Amino acid sequence: MNQFFKGALASVSALLLCQAAWAQPAPGSKPPPSVVVTDLAYTREVAQYFEVATAKSSGGVSANQHGIVGTHQSSGTYVAGTYNYVEQRELGSFSNDIKGAILKGGALRLIQGKRFDAGAPQLTKAEQVLNQVQTGKMAAPPARQPEVHDIVARIKKGEFNGADYVLFGTLSSLQFRDSLSPLQGTNSLTHQFTLDLVADFSLISTKTFEIRASFSAQGAGGDTKLISSRGDVMPPNRGKVIRETSQSLAASVYQQLADQVGLELPEAPAAERQAPARQAPRSETTILR
């Protein structure tokens, strides 16, 4: 029994050593470039309705030789309006599959960067107006907030330390579609729920700020259900739609990234590969250095 455990321990140790050797670059070779994949940046205009009201009231009763005298004083201020501002955020739902595609490709090292720092919380417009009414002083202009699209400033700020490149994505369009279509000759309908997403990407050097790749990528997913015309309700599978969209977006991103910077595409499973009659020579040159 002791020999069995010793043999098993030796096998595990050998496996761990093989994995460690695989993870480390060969002596004298240069490690592959490292990259950070950001979440998809987006901005949107927000309209905020606000109301501010203050009131002050005082009164009293006094008596003199002519009788009883009552006094009352009141004042009030009411301000209302709509305040428009631009909200800057990152959408974290579609970046993991892109990271997985890069890991599967094996030509780049993946590094986790910091999330976008939107800065200190700002006073709402209602709070600014209320302070102005109470103090009688004009409110100071809000401090300049970091911009999610200013990738150079974010690199200098240290959000992507340790990375040679940043794959920066910006959300261009995200649209859900929900439609019903009758099936001719039947009493049934098809319920189609789809999601289309388009994003712009740039691969930027953290040292020189040079753009090494730039492209747009699209992802799409859908769920189709067959329902009767009797008023049946079958909610769409939103999780499936989002997952399909994320996976198709990741495939498009890696394909275009490989085309522009010379990365090797990961091999498809054996069942999906087809042997062409004649295959062009395959270049193994990697442009990123």
Give pLDDT tens digits for 105-148: 888 899 998 888 766 666 666 666 667 666 767 666 666 677 88
| pLDDT score of 117 | 75
Residue 215, Cα to own-chain centre: how many angstroms? Answer: 17
| Tokens at 60, concatenated | 């009293």
Q: Which tops the pLDDT comparison, 103 or 270?
A: 103
Rounded to an integer, the average pLDDT of 35-49 is 79
| Residue 115 and residue 121 in contact, taking contact as beta carbons nearer than 8 Å | no
pTM of the model: 0.65
Q: What does the pLDDT read at residue 24?
A: 47
Highest-scoring range by mean pLDDT, 48-57, 254-263, 273-282: 254-263
Sheet strands (E) in 123-262: 165-182, 188-205, 211-228
pLDDT score at 42: 79
Pairing of strands 109-110, 34-37: parallel
CB burial of 104-134 (b: ≥16 within 10 Å; e: otherwise) equals eeebbbebebeebeeeeeeeebbebbbbeee
Q: Model confidence over 57-88: pLDDT tens digits?
A: 666 666 666 666 666 666 666 667 666 656 67
Distances (CA, A) of 228 to 179, 233, 236, 237: 14, 9, 15, 18
- Binning pLDDT at 50, 70 and 90, where does residue 5 land? very low
In sequence order, the β-bridge partners of residue 180 are 191
Mind giving me the DSSP string for 40-80? EEEEEEEEEEEEEEEEEEEEEEEEETTEEEEEEEEEEEEEE
Helix/strand number for the chain, H first, E second:
5, 7
Task: Read off the tokens for 235.
Answer: 């909610």
* Predicted confidence (pLDDT) per residue in 229-240, tens digit: 666 677 889 999
At 288 the pLDDT is 52
Q: 160: Cβ–Cβ under 8 A, 6 or more apart, which residues?
A: 36, 111, 113, 114, 154, 166, 206
Whole-number percent of the chain with pLDDT over 70: 55
Q: What is the pLDDT of residues 154-196, one digit of tens each?
A: 999 999 999 999 999 999 999 999 888 877 777 788 888 999 9
User: If you average pLDDT over every residue of the chain, what do you get?
Assistant: 74
Angle separating helix axes 238-261 and 96-105, nearest 10 degrees = 40
| pLDDT for position 225 | 85
282 alpha carbon, distance to own chain's centre: 35
Indicate if the pLDDT at residue 204 is higher than 90: yes
Cα–Cα distance measured from residue 265 to residue 152, given in angstroms and rounded to the nearest whole number: 29
Please tell me what DSSP assigns to residue 28. T
How much is the pLDDT for 191?
A: 85
Residue 200 in contact with residue 170, Cβ under 8 Å? yes
* Range with the poorest average pLDDT among 163-172, 209-218, 259-268: 259-268
> Which residue(s) pair with 198 in the sheet?
173, 218
